Structure 1
């Protein structure tokens, strides 16, 4: 393996405490108890889902020196994903998809998903293509793992951006967006890292910083954007 001391590699480097092949594995909370494979991946998916109740801003290191951010608030429930070349924002009033790589930013507004529905996969595809793999994408992969009896799962603990994380490495996964991936989730449910192949291309996302709370402009559309409103009554 080649030596790589770039920012993404440094972010991913952590103090790995355990690696256990499941079957049975150490509980995420109780080292004296074991969790079956299904319970383990469901626990991590549940952490990510529960984190929708947190207000936070997280910055991620992406391949090639890129940078992505995730900002969200629970009330009103909103999430903004910013990545090289674009932005996706999911709010109570609209699902916004913006392209910022041209001479003038352009945004398309569609009706939002229901309050308990995840964003459609197509809405998050641009983020994934830019290297920012989002929590809803990881939740769907963890759910597929729980349903796949042939999937092989390994667990480890690590530290990402100074925060404890529980990680899984999954392989032989069928009927999902990827056949193998690695994902880490922090104790409070924030996505710590993801490595895998999506849409035929390798993707790598690693948490570099986290803070509670969100800046006032986190959910603003790019300045000067041309907006196409496809919501009922929109123009």
Structure 2
């Protein structure tokens, strides 16, 4: 199973566990947490189901920049393309490419192990390049569900021709973002996100969705220099 799928499944499980153990509260507080849990679990379930899809989603960023998320099931792999860089995750390796210089450079490392936190850390690094990923959004929604001071409003909309459920979260006291807006499509893809995460201003909106993937998106950039840091295979 690829790291992308595992990271989302682990986060979804963490949501359920965290909300289950928060029983020592007043009835009013419990009702508020349960309401948030229902919303978070629904959105997390959509994100989790998207791991079973083959799709490509293009995103518009500020300043005319673009990004994309692609996922294939046969074979299992995922690719994130963002301004100045690219990340692919397969059963063989995690490949991070810097495409901002004259010559692309790609670093190969072992694919994240099951239940590995570094996988989420890798995705969080993309915030600095302007692309927020589903695991990061799930983490923020989890924080909102557990914060009694958070204000959460929900509405429905359409993004790139797809129905989406949106939440506006404000007043987070202990999270990577104190406020954000996020929309998740019915398929489970990230429709849009606006907020400041770990000091990075992020604004992404899906502009195109396809139930197909171009195989070239998973390949190394032409002429790229390679640094292979994967451990030597032992017989």
Task: Decide whether aligned partners of structure 1 residues 56 and 116 sit closer, same or farther in structure 2, where only a CA change above 3 A counts.
Answer: farther
**1:176-191 → structure 2 map (5 Å cutoff):** 176-191=175-190
In structure 1, the partner of 2:47 is: 48
Task: Please state how far the C-alpha of 1:24 moved relative to its aligned partner.
Answer: 8.4
The answer to whether the 8 Å contact 2:89/2:111 transfers is: yes
In structure 1, the partner of 2:126 is: 127
- When normalised by structure 2's length, the TM-score is 0.80
Distance 2:73 2:139 in 1: 21
CA RMSD of aligned residues (A): 2.1
Helix, strand or coil for the counterpart of 1:124? helix
In structure 2, the partner of 1:80 is: 79
The answer to whether the 8 Å contact 2:79/2:218 transfers is: yes
Unaligned segments of structure 1, at least 5 residues? 1-22, 26-34
In structure 2, the partner of 1:210 is: 209
Task: Please state how far the C-alpha of 1:125 moved relative to its aligned partner.
Answer: 3.6
Distance 1:187 1:228 in 2: 39
List per-residue Cα deviations over 1:44-103 (Å, max 9, x = no partner).
122112201100011000011000011001343211000110001111111111100111
Task: Decide whether aligned partners of structure 1 residues 203 and 126 sit closer, same or farther in structure 2, where only a CA change above 3 A counts.
Answer: same
Unaligned segments of structure 2, at least 5 residues? 1-29
Structure 1 segments (4+ residues) deviating >3 Å: 115-119
Bigger helix fraction:
2
The answer to whether the 8 Å contact 2:124/2:136 transfers is: no
In structure 2, the partner of 1:14 is: none
Count of residue pairs brought into register by the alignment? 203
The answer to whether the 8 Å contact 2:60/2:206 transfers is: yes
